């Protein structure tokens, strides 16, 4: 189990390394600038020490040769003692260099962080767009949004604020200990004695925090999914007066999420408090023992002041490591959630990637299909659609009508041994997926409109579509008259999912979207259910005029919509129960005839009631 977790963590950080493409140079420059800040921090205590012990105290300098040579160039320590402003100026210069380098660290890290975020979001969006349709059906949109926003931000924060400090922390620890050893080995041992305790406590605590962060992230995804679901379905919520129930449901989940972070806050407070106590104990030990050494004459005042400065520099990175571990735990959880998306295989491309003519016969040959985790939806379906003809599909709810069209469009792939679907004799498995879909125009049972103008929604398939073509398609879909009644016409913003339009207007907009770019195969999946009978007849008339050469598939519960079809198949519980022309099926004595009699009023009340039940 540990090896598996370690392997996943390595894979996650390899993914992070991939995301860093384009921003690595900014972080590298930031590390260099951060190193300069650390070096400046190291030099300042030595200047103070030399001023106290050598310039003012007259003691022999215990400094590197280059430092003594530099002092001699300014007249020696005696001269510097008489002109302390020179050493003060040196401290000011070091401070300017340090602050300038610190400014560069901020600028470079921010540039690198924003580049990283852009790369991550672009990669995530592009990858999600290419994931199989079935994968999207299994994952909540709100949770995916949370992974692409909050989790990305956690990774950005760790990389920009923590990871870039690693080099600086290493430099501070190594140089601090080196300078401390040069001044007094005994006091150095006192100073570093608490380091193993602090690090051990930090590592042990960090492991416990990881599970907490993971749970918080998962619940945040659930909260995001709940919000997204309610905002999308706001009309349904209000139509059934479920505002209070949904509010209580949200508050309950949000309170739970809030409670998790409160507990995490308490835990982190305990951690940081104990860590601060241990760090304060380390400083106290250095001061107590250092004062004793000064009283005994084994350490100078300048050495003690410089030593305390270096010990403070040592204490900061040790404490910082604890915070880094906390942020690393957060980032590790977020990176794993992002990796869940990025590691999902994209929709497989057709190996042969054929691009045959799409105006041939469509054949379903012994097709069977089951959704993941469900019983079989389609059972040994076989039928054909002649090129240029119109096929009608009739069937009850759940009979598999829409599934047939999703399979034809390769939204779902047929497993091996589950039959085959061909267009013009070519198995769709061998047809290039993008090419196949570009030659199939589909109006879905639940039309989806984007938060754009009506014109944008109709012309979404191509930027080359002109407003004249949009109007022409709208007239064919019996939409133009309704649009002209809007104050902004085709520039009317329809709102998310087209909430500002009626059900019929949304369906007609989706139909116009299909008509504006005619394809060899046209599919209308119960897309006339929300329009009145007169409009239905007009649209069907336009379809007959415009798509004489296209193969058209109409799915509907309304027999008048299917009355002019060349052929109709009737599905019952995932099987083809009947097929034939409308005239043949009206007298077949089967399901079609019964539905025809009910819809035409030929059936008696008791028989109609029995059929409706």
> Domains of the chain, with CATH numbers?
2-342 (1.20.1560.10), 362-439+519-612 (3.40.50.300)
Strands 376-385 and 362-370: antiparallel
What whole-number distance in Å separates Cα of residue 279 and Cα of residue 195?
Answer: 9
What is the pTM assigned to this prediction? 0.72
Ramachandran sector of residue 553 (left: φ over 0; alpha: ψ -120 to 50; beta: rest):
beta
Confidence of residue 546 (pLDDT cuts 50, 70, 90): low
pLDDT value at position 90? 87
What does the block give as tokens for 183? 């001044």
pLDDT value at position 547? 57
Confidence of residue 370 (pLDDT cuts 50, 70, 90): very high
Are 408 and 475 contacting, i.e. CB atoms less than 8 angstroms apart?
Answer: no
pLDDT value at position 11? 83
Query: Which residues, in sequence order, are CB contacts of 155 under 8 Å at separation 6+?
Result: 16, 19, 116, 120, 331, 334, 335, 338
Confidence of residue 605 (pLDDT cuts 50, 70, 90): very low
Each residue of 467-480: pLDDT tens digit?
A: 888 888 888 888 88
Q: Is the model more confident about 65 or about 148?
A: 148
What does the block give as tokens for 585? 């099926």
pLDDT value at position 329? 76
pLDDT value at position 604? 45
Q: What is the mean pLDDT of residues 515-542?
A: 75
Each residue of 440-451: pLDDT tens digit?
A: 888 887 778 888
Each residue of 291-334: pLDDT tens digit?
A: 888 888 778 777 778 788 777 777 777 777 767 777 777 788 88
Q: Is the model more confident about 131 or about 604?
A: 131
What whole-number distance in Å separates Cα of residue 496 and Cα of residue 200?
Answer: 53
For residue 164, pLDDT beyond 80: no
Alpha helices in 233-300 (DSSP H): 234-239, 243-296
Confidence of residue 567 (pLDDT cuts 50, 70, 90): very high
Are 165 and 158 contacting, i.e. CB atoms less than 8 angstroms apart?
Answer: no
pLDDT value at position 48? 80
Query: Which residues, in sequence order, are CB contacts of 530 under 8 Å at separation 6+?
Result: 502, 503, 504, 506, 507
For residue 92, pLDDT beyond 50: yes
Query: Which residues, in sequence order, are CB contacts of 330 under 8 Å at separation 6+?
Result: 154, 157, 158, 213
DSSP letter at 73?
H
pLDDT value at position 611? 41
What whole-number distance in Å separates Cα of residue 161 and Cα of residue 370?
Answer: 49
Q: What is the mean pLDDT of residues 124-142?
A: 87
For residue 367, pLDDT beyond 90: yes
What whole-number distance in Å separates Cα of residue 610 and Cα of residue 613?
Answer: 5
pLDDT value at position 189? 85
């Amino acid at each position: 189990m540990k090896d598996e977790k370690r392997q996943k963590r390595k894979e996650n950080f390899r993914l992070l390394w991939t995301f860093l493409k384009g921003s690595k140079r900014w972080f590298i420059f930031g590390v260099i600038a951060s190193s300069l800040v650390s070096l400046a921090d190291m030099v300042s205590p030595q200047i103070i020490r030399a001023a106290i012990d050598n310039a003012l105290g007259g003691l022999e300098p215990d400094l590197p040769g280059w430092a003594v040579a530099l002092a001699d160039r300014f007249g020696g320590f005696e001269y510097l003692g008489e002109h302390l402003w020179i050493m003060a100026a040196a401290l000011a210069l070091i401070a300017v260099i340090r602050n300038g380098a610190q400014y560069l660290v901020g600028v470079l890290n921010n540039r690198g962080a924003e580049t990283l975020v852009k790369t991550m979001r672009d990669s995530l969006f592009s990858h999600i767009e290419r994931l199989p349709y079935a994968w999207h059906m299994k994952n909540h949109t709100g949770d995916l949004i949370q992974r692409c926003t909050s989790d990305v931000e956690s990774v950005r924060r760790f990389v920009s604020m923590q990871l870039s400090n690693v080099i600086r922390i290493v430099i501070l620890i190594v140089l601090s200990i080196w300078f401390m050893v040069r001044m007094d080995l005994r006091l150095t041992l006192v100073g570093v004695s608490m380091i193993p305790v602090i690090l051990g406590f930090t590592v042990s605590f960090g492991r416990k925090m990881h599970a907490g962060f993971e749970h918080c992230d998962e619940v945040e995804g659930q909260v995001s999914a709940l919000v997204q679901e309610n905002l999308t379905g706001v009309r349904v919520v209000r139509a059934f007066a479920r505002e209070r129930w949904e509010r209580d449901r949200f508050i309950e989940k949000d309170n739970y999420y809030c409670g998790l972070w409160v507990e995490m806050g308490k835990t982190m407070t305990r951690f940081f408090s104990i860590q601060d106590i241990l760090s304060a104990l380390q400083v106290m030990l250095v001061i107590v023992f250092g004062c004793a050494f000064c009283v005994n004459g084994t350490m100078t005042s300048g050495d003690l002041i410089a030593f305390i400065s270096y010990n403070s520099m040592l204490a900061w990175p040790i404490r910082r490591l604890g915070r880094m571990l906390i942020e690393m735990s957060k980032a590790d959880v977020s990176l794993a959630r992002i990796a869940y998306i990025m590691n999902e295989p994209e929709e497989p491309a057709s190996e042969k990637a054929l691009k045959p003519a799409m105006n041939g016969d469509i054949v379903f040959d012994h097709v069977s299909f089951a959704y993941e985790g469900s019983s079989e939806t389609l059972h040994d379906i076989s039928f054909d659609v002649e090129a240029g003809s119109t096929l009608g599909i009739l069937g009850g709810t759940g009979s598999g009508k829409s599934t047939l069209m999703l399979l034809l469009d390769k939204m779902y792939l047929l497993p091996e041994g589950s039959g085959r679907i061909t267009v013009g004799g070519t198995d769709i498995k061998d047809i290039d997926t993008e090419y196949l879909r570009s030659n199939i125009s589909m109006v879905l049972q639940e039309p989806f409109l984007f938060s754009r103008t009506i014109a944008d929604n109709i012309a979404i398939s191509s930027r080359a579509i002109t407003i004249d073509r949009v109007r022409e398609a709208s007239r064919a879909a019996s939409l133009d008259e309704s649009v002209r009644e809007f104050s902004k016409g085709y520039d009317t913003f329809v709102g998310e999912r087209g909430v500002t339009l009626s059900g019929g207007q949304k369906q007609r907009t989706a139909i116009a979207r299909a008509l504006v770019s005619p394809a060899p195969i046209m599919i209308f999946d119960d897309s006339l259910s929300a329009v009145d009978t007169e409009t239905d007849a007009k649209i069907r008339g336009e379809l007959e005029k415009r798509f004489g050469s296209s193969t058209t598939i109409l799915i509907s519960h309304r027999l008048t919509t299917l009355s002019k079809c060349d052929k109709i198949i009737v599905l019952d519980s995932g099987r083809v129960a009947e097929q034939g022309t409308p005239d043949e099926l009206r007298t077949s004595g089967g399901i079609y005839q019964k539905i025809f009699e009910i819809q035409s009023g030929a059936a008696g009340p008791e028989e109609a009631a029995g059929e409706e039940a």
